[in-house]
Amino acid sequence: MSVLETATEAKELSAAARHATRDLILVLADSKRLLGMRYAEWLLGAPELEAGIACASMAQDEWGHARLFYAMLRDFGEDVDQLEHGRGPDEYASMEVLDREPASWPALVALNAFVDTALSVQCEALRGSSYAPLAQRVEKLLDEERFHAAHGGAWFRRLAGATAAARAEMGAATAAVLPGVLRWFGPDSERARLLVDEGIVAASGGALRDRFLERISPLLAALGEAGGAFEAPSFAGFDETRRRASAGGPDEATVARIRGDRNRIFRTDG
């Protein structure tokens, strides 16, 4: 492996690496903002008070991380305020499985166990990033994420080990979320390889997907027969910049809420 130059500013990266890095940071920012909102929706209505508090805590973490990633995009010439408050649904680069509000607690647990872990696996690959701002910030973020995985895993095992009906619901929620998460890691494309070659990420595509599958394998095992088998993802129609296979984005109501549309007039600092 060659010795890689460390870039402290985006302008030091090659044009191709700069575009791909910018896209990756936006994918992480948008996905964390959406995931934070999904957690916040369960602040009330979780099966027990403590689970609601845990959701509030995780929502705060995710929104903090999202804000940090959005702010990093200033170095790439982006208007951060416009990114946070001015985009339509089809401009979001969030994970597709976050597009709609989860319908049940097991569906939220599936997001907690799989989406949160997938984002962490992606962030772990940025630890030694040659783009220094990523390498500097990712460690603290991953430290906070440890308890998200613990919460998702504990609830997953609890539901999978409860009644047959609860296990079946956890299995159905897993089947609804997991294929989209597996696809999200993307193909082993030229673009994915470029980021590895330039040292922005330590691994991409299939290698990260394998790491993720290894991480969640105890959870799938806990489902037993309710788990089923998961096929290798298809990348037909996959947009590598947004890491999505469908053209749309989060539903209108979700986007209106994360943009803060309703109380826009009270943003008087601009």
State the residues that interact with other proteins by CB under 8 A. 48-51, 53-54, 57-58, 147, 150-151, 154-155, 157-158
Least separation in angstroms between residue 35's CB and other proteins is: 15
The secondary structure of residue 111, as a DSSP letter, is I
Interacting residues of 155 by C-beta distance below 8 A, sequence separation 6+? 51, 109, 112, 113
H-type alpha helices, the chain? 15-40, 49-72, 80-85, 105-110, 116-124, 132-160, 164-184, 190-197, 205-223, 252-259
Residue among 185, 58, 43 nearest 112 (CA) = 58
Of residues 59 and 255, the one with the C-beta less far from other proteins: 59
Least separation in angstroms between residue 154's CB and other proteins is: 4
Of residues 170 and 194, the one with the C-beta less far from other proteins: 170
Q: How far is CA 93 from the centre of its chain?
A: 10
In DSSP notation, 171-209 reads HHHHHHHHHHHHHHT----HHHHHHHHTTS-S--HHHHH
**CA distances from residue 194 to 26, 191, 201, 258 in whole angstroms, order as listed:** 18, 5, 9, 32
Tokens (6 digits) for 112: 């907690």
Least separation in angstroms between residue 34's CB and other proteins is: 20
Of residues 51 and 219, the one with the C-beta less far from other proteins: 51
Least separation in angstroms between residue 44's CB and other proteins is: 16
Least separation in angstroms between residue 153's CB and other proteins is: 8
Residues 69/123, Cβ–Cβ less than 8 Å = no
Of residues 52 and 206, the one with the C-beta less far from other proteins: 52
Least separation in angstroms between residue 176's CB and other proteins is: 24
For helices 132-160 and 205-223, what crossing angle results, to 10°? Answer: 20
Of residues 12 and 144, the one with the C-beta less far from other proteins: 144
Of residues 41 and 78, the one with the C-beta less far from other proteins: 41
